[in-house]
Structure 1
């Protein structure tokens, strides 16, 4: 019955405009000159942007309460404590502008301008994310769009930061953002309305709200309401409600706007409506008789911010993949983060993210590190990476004093498409490498170098049903955790002479979203945790590293407005340590690969997160 009703509503909405009822409109503020209107988010007053009279704070009848002189068009606002932050276009300067408004004291603040763009800006809209970061979207001509970070909490940044560019429809003029559902909606004048993910770390994609192929129709201004979108068709002078139903939008019967020739601007608060007739310049108000059904809000995951990030990798596209942390045996603050560039080789960074070394040895995918490996008569630390050029294991010695990496040999494997790699070092001191292939095969090698030349002896083989990648070994408990990307995480005995019996740790579902990617262990001696990259929803899941593997929740790595570091998303590999590395890393460090580098847009990199912030965010015991 539910879908039959929805399709009936769609049919009623699309079979013709003759069915549209009239909306009861009354003139509002007859003497007001305004190109854009908005309701104050935290009070009964209204806002207007005028090319002649500037920015205006108005009472409910349209009487002026405060004015900021200038020539303005487009308008959006958000509450910020006791004040309101207003975004508009300064037509004189041809720049987007933000300004605070003390509505109680009826005073405008000091304007903050975004840099002049190399394209005409048609519209602006604001977005506040779940971490209270404030963004402004710019809608420009010829499909150009941008997202800028402009504030955090109630405070505007001294200098706005460009987050990313967005490919928008070529004839877009209007935009609105629903903060609760993180959706940006943009019009395409002769086509319809589109919804985009608004979060800065989201994938760039669009979903149609309503599309038409009818020269008698046009997509104009819109206003987002809980559960839906109210949009204007300026050619037919009609108002349309679109109810959101999952990823679909369902059209409701439209309302006709009697006496309006070209409905140009729209503002809604609750059931109150304001609009402008561009043909006459008249302003109208009305009370809506229908409304959308609110949709369930998206779950809000806690966010932590990266304190450092690495230099971007030296290759475009999907390049950075998996990190490892090498701990300096005497001076932990001189430890290094290793990272793979699967289009180049192995990279080494200091704890501030500065690139120290790059070894261009080929397409390395995953990397892991263990100390105290006997390379002939020499004791070194060892890094091992999966080499996709040769379907082999690439080995690197690490000088225990300087941290310098050197190539130390290669171990061939029979895998047709090598993928993931992790190391296992039991108390006996032996070192094992466990590599996997895309067909689900795992091969376990005992590594040794008695004469200074590394060799690998195959000691065990097992298989999972589909593609794996991430794995990590718990040396103390002799347990191996492996990720099967579309299935979940398994635990298996890491010892070579034991059967490879799989025990489920957690399956893909409500908490863990495919693909399952990087796995890492936080081992403090008190309580140990397994950290999992839940790539499908750009989050990181923390579970106990011991049965019954209780989950403690997931978190995201969000942007650090103060440091100018973007968040992390589409993460492949990650690593964590509980060792006190000094400074912000006194309780350990989490390193995650960032698949979408923003602010500025660059090649991929790695983000460094203090573990203490993860502990606070998830309230870990």
Structure 2
């Protein structure tokens, strides 16, 4: 029996690579309407297959069967290798010379991964995920830009999870739960486009949805296609296979095949989806499982009819002209992290690094909790001190401040409870923090703070407000009580926050969140003429948040939190402020530390703090704590790894 399919509209010329999950974007090339002829691939009941797929890069196929186990089959359907058991659901990724296969053990009700050597036709030792407290309907694999391998679980009643299961070409010894993902209540199928970092999930009675797949992404979804009357899907949203910039999907109850293209491609995501083709599947009563693979002659297609278990195969004459994907930023893992802060929600904000004058390994990281106060951690992230003084937003510090007859190090934070500056003395021997007073400001909504200490030894504080105002105070404490004298004020057009002063060059860098970074003379007796350093654009994504300076004898760099794309931009700290690139703080699988995202404040030092911090330390606030999901915290990154990733001189 053969079935001839003719599209209702021109099809998207596309190159599909289902097995690897890393589709290459394509452009339309539909000079003629292609057709698909399906023929039975395996005799009915030869194998009781529930799910079918292609082995990445080969003509061989994978099959999951509750009766016959996990199977490796040749192009003619002959069995090449079998893993005994009862399995359902299927996805795979190439991993060096091997293939990693994900499936569900029907008897144990657990998801598992197992490696397959296609050459020796040997299965490896399965890695089982722990039993879940919900029924798992489906699963799919995802490999991120740093080659970490994840498994998504699709469960009943909207329950979904993302698990870290491997790195590079190896499976982990144990799987680690990364986060929960709220999914549609009637979901059964999922696929991930690795290149676009996009998870596609069906909702049987509604349609198909697209979610960000990256573990540090915010949880949001966009509709791909909806069931009538909200879209052209006649009856149900079922299984899917990836196409470049889109998806090929089944309506099992109407026996139709739909193709959707994402508008704008991978470089301009978020503009919606458009229907490119709708094909009837005459003769199939309930097409359930779908697999597609590119070949030199077009696209190989496998479809399983759930009505009688028959599997059909065919070829679609689709071609595509590849176009480049968005550039991949290097990932630098954190080596340690702070304990989570003691408040829920958007709480942690800005760090500062206090350097012990005699024993650098005893240095501390200060961090603000804008729902609580000021925190102090050691270099391993252990909480050492907590000062519940109010809603502190930003913090900065400088050494050798004369507090009456004492010489202390001074930390200053913006206090949103009182629109004031909260001051703290730091004991130079022990690192212990103590409250040292408060300076009121006329700001209606105080926000950012940074300090400036020129060679003359005076200490200045720059405070800014949400209305764009900057106030510069000279700080002193001749009688042991800190006081502030307002010496200059200026304004930017919109909301600022992050700022950092270059004491050596007497220059202030300030961030205007939706605009970019400016430089201005930090001296109080000089005009506040703004000079552009970098504008929001292709590299720097709003909001512009934390700013910090890495200063060494050889090079000075300005580090900026590009919050809009969860990255960090590094510039030369001198004109013309040349870009040295951007990076992300990624997941450290070996240490069990998640990456950093939605970063507010950051700080960096070039001081040798010993061990992994011998070339300095970068601290960034993490707006989404994963693995496990907890309140926000701070990530500690060796500067040596940043320099290596960006090839800094």
Q: What's the TM-score once normalised by structure 2's chain length? A: 0.92
Alignment match, 2:144:
129
Alignment match, 1:353:
381
Alignment match, 1:510:
538
CA distance in 2, matches of 1:295, 1:412: 57
Structure 1 position 294, deviation (Å): 5.3
Alignment match, 1:3:
none
Query: How do 1:146-161 residues align onto structure 2 when only pairs under 5 Å count?
Result: 146-161=161-176
SS class of match (1:316): coil
SS class of match (2:237): coil
- In 2, are the aligned partners of 1:87 and 1:97 still within 8 Å (CA)? yes
Tell me, yes or no, if structure 1 residue 236 matches structure 2 residue 254: yes
SS class of match (2:380): coil
CA distance in 2, matches of 1:323, 1:233: 52
Tell me, yes or no, if structure 1 residue 217 matches structure 2 residue 241: no
- In 2, are the aligned partners of 1:101 and 1:109 still within 8 Å (CA)? yes
User: Equivalent of 2:41, from 28, 37, 42?
Assistant: 28
Distance 1:262 1:291, change over 3 A: farther
Alignment match, 1:276:
304
CA distance in 2, matches of 1:587, 1:498: 35
Structure 1 position 42, deviation (Å): 2.7
CA distance in 1, matches of 2:189, 2:586: 27
Alignment match, 2:157:
142
- In 1, are the aligned partners of 2:422 and 2:439 still within 8 Å (CA)? yes
Structure 1 position 417, deviation (Å): 0.1
SS class of match (2:277): coil
Alignment match, 2:282:
258
CA deviations on 1:297-354 (whole Å, 9 max, x unpaired) are 1220011000000000000000000000000000000000000000000000000000
CA distance in 1, matches of 2:450, 2:226: 49
Alignment match, 1:536:
564
Alignment match, 1:13:
none
Q: CA RMSD in A?
A: 1.3
SS class of match (1:617): helix
Alignment match, 1:496:
524
CA distance in 2, matches of 1:288, 1:600: 44
CA distance in 1, matches of 2:58, 2:36: 25
User: Equivalent of 2:638, from 607, 610, 613?
Assistant: 610
CA distance in 1, matches of 2:96, 2:317: 32
CA deviations on 1:260-300 (whole Å, 9 max, x unpaired) are 00000001111001111001110010112346775641220
CA distance in 2, matches of 1:96, 1:357: 43
Could you list the runs of 5+ residues in structure 2 that have no partner in the other structure?
A: 1-8, 12-32, 265-269
CA deviations on 1:202-223 (whole Å, 9 max, x unpaired) are 1111111111235941000000
CA deviations on 1:233-261 (whole Å, 9 max, x unpaired) are 00111111111212321111211212100
- In 1, are the aligned partners of 2:40 and 2:313 still within 8 Å (CA)? yes
CA distance in 1, matches of 2:324, 2:445: 43
CA distance in 1, matches of 2:40, 2:321: 29
CA distance in 1, matches of 2:465, 2:359: 37
CA distance in 1, matches of 2:10, 2:426: 67
User: Equivalent of 2:362, from 326, 331, 334?
Assistant: 334
Alignment match, 1:71:
86
CA distance in 2, matches of 1:579, 1:355: 22
- In 2, are the aligned partners of 1:227 and 1:293 still within 8 Å (CA)? no
- In 1, are the aligned partners of 2:258 and 2:275 still within 8 Å (CA)? yes
CA distance in 2, matches of 1:291, 1:205: 32
Alignment match, 1:207:
222
User: Equivalent of 2:245, from 216, 227, 231?
Assistant: 227
- In 2, are the aligned partners of 1:32 and 1:62 still within 8 Å (CA)? no
CA distance in 1, matches of 2:227, 2:282: 23
CA distance in 2, matches of 1:412, 1:612: 40
SS class of match (1:609): strand
- In 2, are the aligned partners of 1:488 and 1:508 still within 8 Å (CA)? yes
Tell me, yes or no, if structure 1 residue 451 matches structure 2 residue 495: no
Tell me, yes or no, if structure 1 residue 399 matches structure 2 residue 427: yes
CA deviations on 1:385-437 (whole Å, 9 max, x unpaired) are 00000000000000000000000000000000000000000011100000000
SS class of match (1:599): coil
CA distance in 1, matches of 2:79, 2:353: 61
User: Equivalent of 1:104, from 87, 111, 119?
Assistant: 119
CA distance in 2, matches of 1:44, 1:153: 24
Structure 1 position 175, deviation (Å): 0.2
Could you list the runs of 5+ residues in structure 1 that have no partner in the other structure?
A: 1-7, 11-19
CA distance in 1, matches of 2:258, 2:411: 61
CA distance in 2, matches of 1:523, 1:53: 64
User: Equivalent of 1:568, from 596, 599, 607?
Assistant: 596
Q: What's the TM-score once normalised by structure 1's chain length? A: 0.96
**Structure number with higher relative contact order (C-alpha < 8 Å, ≥ 6 residues apart):** 2
CA distance in 2, matches of 1:460, 1:335: 33
Alignment match, 1:120:
135
Aligned residues: 605
- In 1, are the aligned partners of 2:35 and 2:317 still within 8 Å (CA)? no
